[in-house]
Structure formats: C-alpha cells, structure tokens
Amino acid sequence: MPQEIERKFLINKDLWEKVKKPKGILIQQGYLSANPECTIRVRRTDDTSTLTIKGINKGAVRTEFEYEIPTEDVEQLLKLFTEKRISKTRYPIEFSGKCWEVDVFHDTNDGLVVAEIELLSEHEPFEKPLWVTEEVTDDIRYYNVNLLEHPYVKW
C-alpha cells in the first residue's frame, strides 16, 4: 500500500529570506472530503493537476494514493464541490541530499510558512537546514485541510 512519510516544521523567517530560492510553484487546492480518516484533495499547479486520497495520520506516516488528472477535471471539481481553497507557493530546496518543500501560504493563511520533508522511513535520519525550527508534524492546526476552517490569520 502506498505510504507518505512526511515531517513538517516551522521556519525562521529571517533566515528563510536569505535562502537562494528557485522559482516558486503556485498551488491551488481544495478538499472533496475533509474526513480525517479519508481526506480527498484536488490540486492544480501550472504543470500538473492531481487527485489525492490520504488516510489518517499515524505520526508522520499515512496511506496516500495520488493520480494525475486532466486540469479541466480539477477546475470542475473545485467549482462544483469545494467552497474554500488553499493557495500557496511551494519552493523545493535541496539540502544535504534531501528535498525540502517550503510552502508560503496566501490569502487567509498569509504569514504562514511551513517546511516539509518526505522520508523513506519514519526513523530515517536527516539534517535540518539552519532555517528549519520547531517540528509541527503532530499539530493538526498545520494540516492544510484544517487551515480551510481555521485559517492562520485568525489564530
């Protein structure tokens, strides 16, 4: 069964501003199901559109199925079945042999910046860049699906 093993961290914004960044990837996403046991997300970037089904988190591990779908389908799914959306710009940053994905959120989550790293196993060792700070993997406030109902600007 496909799994996602991902850890999530806050960042030091002052240090992050000094990082040389690639061009960001604008992401728009909405949720067809926000049930924690079966989250169903549609996502669109300039290059790809996906449908993703995720199971409940068990620490940093959860079941994940992800499929590329036509952009027209994502547009229709977002329009017909979602009221709220997440907008963020993602910056993939290579560091010490790993890719860190740094998400800079927009709109009602403006000001939130989160770094994620995908691992091969839950206990895989990795090195953190200096700009990575507190781990928030187990803090449900930082789950994208929860940011729709409890946006960062209202914390």
Residue 57's pLDDT is what? 87
**In this structure, what token pair is assigned to residue 136?**
């928030």
Residue 146's pLDDT is what? 94
Q: What is the Cα–Cα distance from 155 to 146, expressed in whole angstroms?
A: 12
pTM comes to: 0.94
For residues 110 and 152, is the Cβ–Cβ distance under 8 A?
A: yes
pLDDT value at 1 more than 80: no
Residue 99's pLDDT is what? 97
Q: Given the structure tokens 């027209």, which residue do they identify?
A: 72
What sign results for the dihedral spanned by CA atoms 121, 126, 132, 134? Answer: positive
Residue 43's pLDDT is what? 97
Which residues does 35 contact at the CB level (< 8 Å), separation at least 6? none
Residue 58's pLDDT is what? 87
Q: Tell me the HSE value of 23 on the side-chain side, using a 13 A CA sphere.
A: 4
Tell me the pLDDT band of 150, cut-offs 50, 70 and 90: very high
For residue 104, the one-letter residue type is V
* pLDDT tens digit sequence for 6-61: 999 999 999 999 999 999 999 999 999 999 899 999 999 999 999 999 999 888 89
For residue 12, the one-letter residue type is N
* pLDDT tens digit sequence for 101-131: 999 999 999 999 999 999 999 899 999 999 9
Q: Which of 31, 67, 91, 152 is catalytic?
A: 31
Domains of the chain: 3-154 (2.40.320.10)
**31: annotated active-site residue:** yes
With H, G, I as helix, E, B as strand and everything else as coil, classify residue 155.
Answer: coil
**In this structure, what token pair is assigned to residue 134?**
């507190």
